[in-house]
Chains A and B, each alone.
Chain A
Amino acid sequence: MTTISPHVHSPRQKQGFLAWLWMWLTTLDHKKVGILYLCGGGFFFLIGGIEAILIRIQLAVPENTFLVGSAYNQVLTMHGTTMIFLAAMPMIFALMNAVVPLQIGARDVAFPFLNSLGFWLFFLGGLILNVSWFLGGAPDGGWTAYTPLSSEYLGSGMDFYILGLQVAGAGTLMGGINFLVTIINMRAPGMTFMRMPLFTWTALVTSALILFAFPALTVGLFFELFDKIFGANFFNATNGGNSVIWEHIFWIFGHPEVYILILPAFGVISEVIPTFAKKRLFGYSSMVFATVLIGFLAFMVWVHHMFTVGLGPMANSIFAIATMAIAIPTGMKIFNWMFTMWGGQIHFNTANLFAIGFIPTFVMGGVTGVMLAVPAADFQYHDSYFVIAHFHYVIVGGVVFGLLSAIFYWWPKMFGKFLNETLGKFTFWFFFFGFHFTFFPQHFLGLMGMPRRYFTYFKGEGLEAGNLISSIGASGMAIATILLVINIVITTAKGKKAKGDAWGLGRTLEWSIASPAPEYNFAQTPLVKGIDPLWKAKMEGNKKLTPAEPLGDIHMPSPSILPFLMSLSLTLASFGFIYADINGMGALVFAGIGIGLMFLLMLIHSLKDDHGFHIHKEEIIETEKGAE
Chain B
Amino acid sequence: MATNQSDINVYVEKQKRKRELQHYYVSFVLMILFTILAFAAVMLRDSINDYLIAIFIVTMAIVQVVFQLYYFMHMKDKDHGFPSLFLYGGAAVAFLTVISFVSIIWIS
Contacts and interface: CB of A to CB of B under 8 A. Distances in A.
B104 A252 contact: no
Contacts of A299: 93, 96-97
B82 interface: yes
A184 B82 contact: yes
A252 B107 contact: no
A299 B94 CA distance: 9
Q: Interface size class for chain B?
A: 10 to 19
A311 B108 CA distance: 12
Given A184-B82, A252-B97, A300-B96, A314 B104 contact: yes
A211 B82 CA distance: 14
Q: Is the interface of B mostly helix, strand, loop or mixed?
A: helix
Contact of B105 (A208, A212, A315): A315
B100 A315 contact: yes
Interface stretch (A133-141, A241-249, A410-418, A479-487): A241-249
Nearest to B85: A208
A245 B107 contact: yes
A303 B105 contact: yes
Contacts of A245: 107
Contact of A315 (B82, B89, B93, B104): B104
A312 interface: yes
A318 interface: yes
Contacts of B104: 311-312, 314-315, 318
A242 B108 CA distance: 8
Q: Is the interface of A mostly helix, strand, loop or mixed?
A: helix
B96 to A, nearest CB: 7
A312 B104 CA distance: 8
Contacts of A314: 104
Contacts of B107: 242, 244-245, 248
Interface string A87-129: 0000000000000000000000000000000000000000000
A299 B96 CA distance: 9
Contacts of A211: 86, 90
B93 to A, nearest CB: 5
A153 B90 CA distance: 35
A627 to B, nearest CB: 35
A245 B97 CA distance: 13
Interface string A301-329: 00100000001101100100000000000
Nearest to A245: B107
Given A311-B105, A314-B104, A208 B93 contact: no
A375 to B, nearest CB: 13
A245 B106 CA distance: 11
Contacts of B90: 211-212
Nearest to B97: A252
A252 to B, nearest CB: 6
Contacts of B86: 208, 211
Contacts of A252: 97
Nearest to B90: A212
A184 B83 CA distance: 11
Interface in A205-230: 208, 211-212
Interface in B51-108: 82, 86, 89-90, 93, 96-97, 100-101, 104-108
A208 to B, nearest CB: 7
A379 B4 CA distance: 79
Interface string A238-262: 0000101100100010000000000
A184 B86 CA distance: 12
A208 B105 CA distance: 26
A303 B106 CA distance: 13
Interface string A272-304: 000000000000000000000000000110010
A531 to B, nearest CB: 22
Contacts of A242: 107-108
B75 to A, nearest CB: 16
A211 B90 CA distance: 9
A314 B93 CA distance: 20
A312 B106 CA distance: 9
A511 B89 CA distance: 35
A314 B106 CA distance: 11
Contacts of A303: 100, 105
Nearest to B82: A184
A211 B106 CA distance: 27
Nearest to A303: B105
B100, B105, B107, most chain A CB atoms within 10 A: B105
A242 B106 CA distance: 12
Given A252-B97, A300-B96, 15 more contacts: A208-B86, A208-B89, A211-B86, A212-B90, A242-B108, A244-B107, A248-B105, A299-B96, A299-B97, A311-B104, A311-B106, A312-B104, A315-B100, A318-B100, A318-B104
8 contacts: A208-B86, A211-B90, A212-B90, A212-B93, A242-B107, A244-B107, A311-B105, A318-B100
Interface of B: 82, 86, 89-90, 93, 96-97, 100-101, 104-108
Interface of A: 184, 208, 211-212, 242, 244-245, 248, 252, 299-300, 303, 311-312, 314-315, 318
- Shortest Cβ-Cβ A-B pairs, 9 listed: A315-B104, A299-B93, A314-B104, A315-B105, A311-B105, A184-B82, A212-B93, A212-B90, A318-B104
